[in-house]
Amino acid sequence: MFYRKGDRVRHPIKEDWGLGKVLANSNGDKVDVFFVDAGEKTILLKYVEPIKVKGEESNHGGLDNLKATASTSGIKYQRFSKLTENFLEAYPEGFQNEKFIGDERIKKEKAHEMAFELLPEERFQELIDAADYTEITKRVIKILNATTLILPNERLSLKNGLVEAREQEMFAKALFGLLYHDEPLKERFERFSSVLGMLGAGKWTLATYFLFVFYPDKHMFVKPKLMQQSADICRFELNYKAQLNWQTYESVLSFADYVSSELSDLNPKNMMDVKEFIWHTAAGA
């Protein structure tokens, strides 16, 4: 049987290997397959012919975004069930664990509540209409200081970029657009990222913090090293570049959705919980 690159298959005997993705066109003698619960395997076709899988059964977020080659950083692939086991060793009741809630969730939820108290859409618009950009800046800094997600030097880079009224206005309008406009997210994200760059604060943490704090149901915070390590463990293609760009953030959102779907049995409350799982995974790399 001939197998094309990208075909989804299952091993006819090793059912515990799970769904697989063909890595390259087969040559008639063998085929290289990446299995979600076994990693990369070479199958000799004279002994075994993988079973092709199509339709809904072939869908898998991790395989859809599979990194073409293993990480060069030395980080080894781990099946998701193992990552979950490791997380449950630290938090036996998962996301309902009291220590997890106390250490990881409560402060971020308070920051989320504070964000909408300080800059809800109507009040934010009123401050812009009044050209009170100094007040907006003060409220933005309070929201940044509500968590420890942003490092002091990163907070300082933004604060230093918001000294002049013109920069304050530019930032305020870009942030309002990011949070409340109806344009496609790509356009809003790129505009906000461009403004951060002009302010000397073009960091992934700052570019993603506000979406994450205001809308934790669907947006992810990016701390580059930890996000890359976790994605490498899952062999997920993050398309990472240090310079702010939409492709990387779109890949991060896909990765977050994939992790969330794999954690469905543990019922993460939102992306704040998913972020902690991702960081816990990276810490074990």
Q: Do residues 7 and 22 lie in contact, with contact meaning Cβ atoms separated by under 8 Å?
A: yes
Q: pLDDT, tens digit, for every residue of 189-204?
A: 999 999 999 999 999 9
φ, ψ dihedrals at 266, nearest 5°: -90, -5
Confidence band (pLDDT; 50, 70, 90) for 1?
confident
Tens-place pLDDT, residues 63-95: 999 998 887 778 999 999 999 999 999 999 999
pLDDT tens sequence across 234-271 = 999 999 999 999 999 999 999 999 999 999 999 999 99
Tokens of 17: 């290997």
Cα 180-147-257 angle, rounded to 5 deg: 60
**Rounded distance between C-alpha atoms, residue 41 and residue 265, angstroms:** 28
Q: Is the pLDDT of residue 111 over 90?
A: yes
Alpha-carbon span 233 to 269, nearest angstrom = 23
**285 band by pLDDT with thresholds 50, 70 and 90:** low
**So what's the pLDDT on residue 74?**
82
How is the chain split among helix, strand and coil, in percent rounded to 5? 55, 10, 35
pTM: 0.94
Q: What are 203's two structure tokens? A: 């960091």
Q: What is the mean pLDDT of the chain?
A: 96
C-alpha–C-alpha distance, residues 113 and 93, integer Å: 25
pLDDT score at 57: 94
Mean pLDDT of 17-34: 95
Q: In this predicted structure, what is the pLDDT of residue 28?
A: 85
Question: DSSP letter string over 102-123?
Answer: IIIIHHHHHHHHHHHHHS-HHH
Percent of the chain beyond pLDDT 70? 100
